[in-house]
Chain A
Amino acid sequence: MGVLSRRNVLVGTALVGGGLMVGVKFSPDKRLARAREMLENPGENLITTWVKISQDNIITVIVPHAEMGQGVHTSLPMMLAEELEADWDLVTMVQAPAETIYANNALVKGYLLDGKEIPAFLNQPANWSTYQLGKYMDMQVTGGSTSVRTTGQYAMRVAGAAVKDLLIQAAAQKWDVPARECSARLSQVFHNKSKRSASYGDLAPGAAGMTASASPKLKARDDFTIIGTSKPRFDIPGKVNGSATYGIDIHMPGLKIAAIQASPVFGGKVARVNSGPVTGLRGIETVVNIGDAVAVVGDNFWRVQSALINLDVQFDGGGNESVSSDTIYATQVRAIEAGKRKSNVSSGNLDEARVAAVTTVDAEYRAPYLAHAQMEPLNCTALVEDGKCEIWVGVQDGLATRAAAANALGIAKEDVTVHLLPLGGGFGRRGGGVMDFIDRSVRVAAQLDGPVKVIWSREEDMRQGAYRPACVSRFEAGLDGSGKPVFWSNVHIMDEEAEAVHIPDSVAAQIIESVEAPTHVPYGPWRSVASSQHGFFIESFIDELAHMAGVDPYDYRRDLLGDDPRMAHVLETAARMSGWGGALPEGRARGIAVKKSFATIVAQVAEVSITQGAVRVHKVWCAADPGDVVNPDTFRAQMEGGIIFGLTAALYGEITIEQGRAVQGNFPDYKMITMADTPEIEVEIIRSGAPWGGAGEPGTPPIAPAVTNAVFALTGTRVRQLPLKNHEFG
């Protein structure tokens, strides 16, 4: 068993790196016992935590992330297979259960290596900042575009390379030749001198007695044969024939179905519930009151949801009944004017620059609350029995789910088992900081015998959101005689990651500050997090400066990015793709924007017209530099999806608050774009070789400003508050 504990040291070492604070939290033996449960068939050898190789030469990669359509169940195995010199046709994957050994240790290292803070999306409502750093090891995160950047780079590739070395050693020993004379290719080890070869499957048992290198040599980019090639995703067939089982599809003997309603005023309590009107109705078993929500339990979702609507229940809003979007914006404006400011960026001499400026420009921007509206409404199936809890759910963070359930029930985390299922969309709503639906579901289950599937109606899902926060942001900038910005001053709501509010360094004097204006409205990470609203604000205001200076918006940006060749190249690429500056059809105009988020730089050009008084986007050109890319087709799909997600928000997205509650409840009043208003999208990927960036999020931020900048070019109307549907165009 030496190799297994040694292998655990390998993984631990690889994950811990020089960062002593992370530590190896779990004893090798415990890792070993848990990891061994992953072995399904006799004859399989578990070689590392991350991969197993069966005797018939099938390599199964164990992926510690949930699949929500971002292709990570394929791209992570690709990274491992690359280093392992595996035959891709013989590679498959399983998703790791939400066990501590699969906690996303690599995530911690990824951020430590980048010299970054723990990302904002982990800092959201659950207030993770009170945790010790080591506790992050207890998170299994899919979000913040981290899978490839951290798990892939620091665990998958290292594990793959180490296992390859083991297999070569095993072959060398078997053949009694020096290991350096052996080579690996397509899931086989070769010894050319003696013309011998053996499959990984044959060598695997021998390798199980050997010592792995803690820091194996990784391949150079030029030698990649799998990374950078488009591979069909493992999860697609089941999504085409209807066999993919999402959380909402779970069925088991004795399963009850529940519909739930929480206080419409966020944070309120159930004041009174009278189950009389629904007692005895067909298929209705009981009504459960969990204090902040009620649930009707029965045998069919239509029956329980219909009964819930007829239930006689009153809520106590807890004093927030008078809060509205207007009062929230007013509070934010007051905070910006008089609140205590926290500085995020401060460089240069603002006072001097102010004097030097020939022109000053100021503007106030606003972005509304947004719901995630992931296609699969929130749901969670739970069984609470004998002080233990079992959960079936699609989430972005299995271990946070486990912790949330344990917390809600007052039991140990070890007594909670989470079965992770594919997600019908996440976009942040199923992430670690926003586990209200787990909390409520297990509290409903605790009052019942047997398993219960709690399903949120679309209306309940949308009105009990973890919204992208509404935000006001004020800017002031000064231009010199040539129109160049000499100072930039910004104050906005909520302290955010520097990356989200960053502007080009070429603006010598900068002050970027935040103020707090808390509300009772729950919020959470929403695809691209703070870069979604700040990307819109910043790239719009830069456009204002360009027009004020009388310079073409592309040229103006290009000039500002003089010190940043990588970003400038992405901008140039988008401009080139679109033929920026060329003649356009009558009634059309273009806008451009560029934003770096999650370490990926994306520039987009949007071509728009006004059709029947509304903005119509015809085409989007998108250039993206993620450093490098594992599965280009998947990356392209993420850009397409990110653009459509951001465009939906720019055109239509708005959750308004009235009387302390969310107004919109379903697609008729929270409109989604469909085939008919989807633009043509062209994507070009730039593999610059910079540190790997994300894929899921960075496509979203530039689209709103690219579109509104085009609207300005076309109409002269500067849109400073989204969504566009609230504006009238001639």
Chain B
Amino acid sequence: MSYQLTINGTSHELDVEGDMPLLWALRDELHLTGTKFGCGVAACGACTVQVDGVAVRSCSCPVEAADGAIITTIEGLGGPGGAMTTLQEAWTAHQVPQCGYCQSGMLMAVTALLAENPDPSDEDIDKGVSNVCRCGSYPRVRAAIRSVAQAIATQDATQDPTQAGATEVGEATSAEEM
């Protein structure tokens, strides 16, 4: 069976089993390895990508369920030429990653959260980001989210707040200054 996926703006025909998890299609078929394998059972979030704008744990999303979908992975989060999103810049400013292995998934999950809720409360963050970081970067994840939310809050009201790290499906986010 062949499936059609648009990944980071590029269309791919994938001839794989329909029940192959999207994670392993990305990693072992397309060699897009920014999306990580942590548990394989939807329990850690290391494999989080966006499917049609929704954060999805790709280890537990069969390719057939993503047929025709528009997918964004960490490689497609920033703008062209490696420009980083506001959220990625906040991640750097707060020196969030330690080993870094969970951070692709963390960034994808937080990006989706902020797209939906640009000014999340602590509770919203707790509920919306259940990714595991074994290195314990959580305090910095929270601080980085807050700094971005604050930046959005103080931004000119005419600007579209969802641009701050949030991707419209299939579109690469423009990198903005915080």
Residues of A within 8 A of B (CB): 68-70, 232-233, 235-246, 248-249, 251, 257, 282, 299-303, 305, 373-377, 422-427, 455, 457-458, 633-634, 637, 640-645, 666-668, 672-676, 678, 680-681
A645: chain B residues within 8 A (beta carbon): 134-136
Cβ-defined partner of B33 (8 Å) among A251, A377, A637: A251
CA of A377 to CA of B141, assembled, Å:
22
B37–A674 touching, CB < 8 Å:
no
Judge if B7 is at the interface, Cβ distance under 8 Å: no
CA of A576 to CA of B122, assembled, Å:
27
A248–B37 touching, CB < 8 Å:
yes
From known contacts A375-B132, A668-B43, infer whether A242 and B74 are also in contact, taking CB-CB under 8 Å: yes
B104–A641 touching, CB < 8 Å:
no
Query: Nearest chain B CB to A126's CB is how many angstroms away?
Result: 24
Give 1 or 0 for each of B126-168: 1 = CB within 8 Å of chain A CB.
1101111111111111100000000000000000000000000
Cβ-defined partner of B126 (8 Å) among A246, A641, A666, A676: A676
Give 1 or 0 for each of B84-120: 1 = CB within 8 Å of chain A CB.
1000100110011111111110010000000000000
From known contacts A240-B107, A457-B40, A644-B136, infer whether A246 and B101 are also in contact, taking CB-CB under 8 Å: yes
Query: Nearest chain B CB to A612's CB is how many angstroms away?
Result: 15
Cβ-defined partner of A678 (8 Å) among B84, B88, B139: B139
Judge if B17 is at the interface, Cβ distance under 8 Å: yes
Cβ-defined partner of B77 (8 Å) among A68, A242, A299, A375: A242
B28: chain A residues within 8 A (beta carbon): 257, 299-302
A243–B34 touching, CB < 8 Å:
yes
B136: chain A residues within 8 A (beta carbon): 640-645, 678
Most interface-central of A233, A235, A249, A305 (chain B CB within 10 A): A249
A674–B130 touching, CB < 8 Å:
yes
A241–B78 touching, CB < 8 Å:
yes
The 7 closest A-B pairs by CB, nearest first: A242-B34, A239-B100, A644-B136, A424-B101, A69-B98, A242-B74, A69-B99
Most interface-central of A232, A237, A641, A643 (chain B CB within 10 A): A641
Most interface-central of B17, B34, B75, B95 (chain A CB within 10 A): B95
From known contacts A457-B40, A666-B43, infer whether A239 and B135 are also in contact, taking CB-CB under 8 Å: no
A376–B88 touching, CB < 8 Å:
no
Query: Nearest chain A CB to B160's CB is how many angstroms away?
Result: 23
Residues of B within 8 A of A (CB): 17, 20-21, 23-24, 27-29, 31, 33-41, 43-44, 46, 73-75, 77-78, 82, 84, 88, 91-92, 95-104, 107, 125-127, 129-142
CA of A678 to CA of B35, assembled, Å:
25
CA of A303 to CA of B91, assembled, Å:
35
CA of A377 to CA of B99, assembled, Å:
13
CA of A678 to CA of B103, assembled, Å:
17
B92–A376 touching, CB < 8 Å:
no
Given A302-B20, A458-B41: 6 more A-B contacts, CB < 8 Å: A69-B135, A239-B99, A241-B75, A300-B28, A375-B134, A427-B134
CA of A455 to CA of B37, assembled, Å:
10
CA of A668 to CA of B132, assembled, Å:
11
- B20 (CB) vs chain A CBs: closest residue: A302
CA of A379 to CA of B135, assembled, Å:
19
Most interface-central of B39, B125, B141 (chain A CB within 10 A): B39
From known contacts A375-B135, A641-B135, infer whether A425 and B101 are also in contact, taking CB-CB under 8 Å: yes
Cβ-defined partner of A241 (8 Å) among B84, B96, B102: B84
- B73 (CB) vs chain A CBs: closest residue: A242
CA of A105 to CA of B36, assembled, Å:
35
CA of A302 to CA of B100, assembled, Å:
23
B91: chain A residues within 8 A (beta carbon): 236, 240
What are 30 pairs between A and B in contact, CB < 8 Å?
Answer: A69-B135, A235-B97, A235-B100, A236-B92, A239-B99, A240-B84, A241-B75, A241-B77, A243-B34, A243-B75, A248-B37, A251-B31, A251-B33, A300-B24, A300-B28, A300-B29, A302-B20, A302-B28, A374-B134, A375-B46, A375-B102, A376-B36, A376-B101, A425-B135, A644-B136, A644-B138, A667-B132, A674-B126, A675-B125, A676-B126
- B39 (CB) vs chain A CBs: closest residue: A458
- A251 (CB) vs chain B CBs: closest residue: B31
Most interface-central of A68, A238, A425, A634 (chain B CB within 10 A): A425
- A374 (CB) vs chain B CBs: closest residue: B134
CA of A668 to CA of B39, assembled, Å:
9
CA of A373 to CA of B74, assembled, Å:
23
Query: Nearest chain A CB to B93's CB is how many angstroms away?
Result: 9
B139–A640 touching, CB < 8 Å:
yes
B82: chain A residues within 8 A (beta carbon): 241
Query: Nearest chain A CB to B71's CB is how many angstroms away?
Result: 14
CA of A245 to CA of B88, assembled, Å:
18
B139: chain A residues within 8 A (beta carbon): 640, 678, 680-681
- B122 (CB) vs chain A CBs: closest residue: A675
B126–A675 touching, CB < 8 Å:
yes
Query: Nearest chain B CB to A102's CB is how many angstroms away?
Result: 22
